[in-house]
Amino acid sequence: MNVGGANSLPTKDLVGILESLGLRNVKTYIQSGNAVFQGDRKAAGLAEKISSKIQRNHGHAPQVILLRIDELERAIKSNPFPRAKSDPKALHLVFLASIPKPADLSGLENVRQPGEQYSLKGRIFYFWAPEGIGRSKLFSRIEKTMGVPCTARNWRTVGKLLELAREVKAVTRDAG
């Protein structure tokens, strides 16, 4: 979820909200809405519940995008930019709330800077930006072009989230 800038949400508060919804073994990574946790197998409506609880407690309702561990593993395995291993800051995975209707990507082509590359695979938009995303016109247009809410994480963060998710999964396996 995006909880930075004007809509800041302290990590401690995020953990409390997730635990109050019955989620277990909550782990967070950096102050940007990254959290892994265990919950019931049926997560229907969970994203909306998390967003609503944040709205009640903090006055803003961030877009919450949930991924199961297998989806995160698949996103990493499907990476079309193997150079990310040597330059992890250059690759960003943009997680979409849903699979977009066929998007007209020509608008992105028109603003793509030299060196920028992208690939859309299901709910993941992979964006290779060796010069960074701060001034990228393409990056700033992804959500509008896709037509669905999204949130982006760099390659290093995605790898760390998978590591944390595996730790949480191992805790459950060991406890069971």
pLDDT digits (tens, 9 = 90+) for 64-123: 999 999 999 999 999 999 999 999 999 999 999 999 988 778 889 999 999 999 999 999
pLDDT at residue 4 tops 90 = no
Report residue 55 as tokens: 């709205």
Q: Which residues contact 107 (CB under 8 A, 6 or more apart)?
A: 141, 145
Domains for the chain: give ranges and CATH numbers. 5-66 (no CATH), 70-158 (3.30.70)
Asked if residue 105 lies in contact with residue 68, where contact means CB atoms within 8 angstroms, the answer is no
pLDDT at residue 3 tops 60 = no
Mean pLDDT value across the chain: 90
Query: How far apart are alpha carbons 38 and 21 in whole angstroms?
Result: 11
Return the pLDDT at 106. Answer: 86
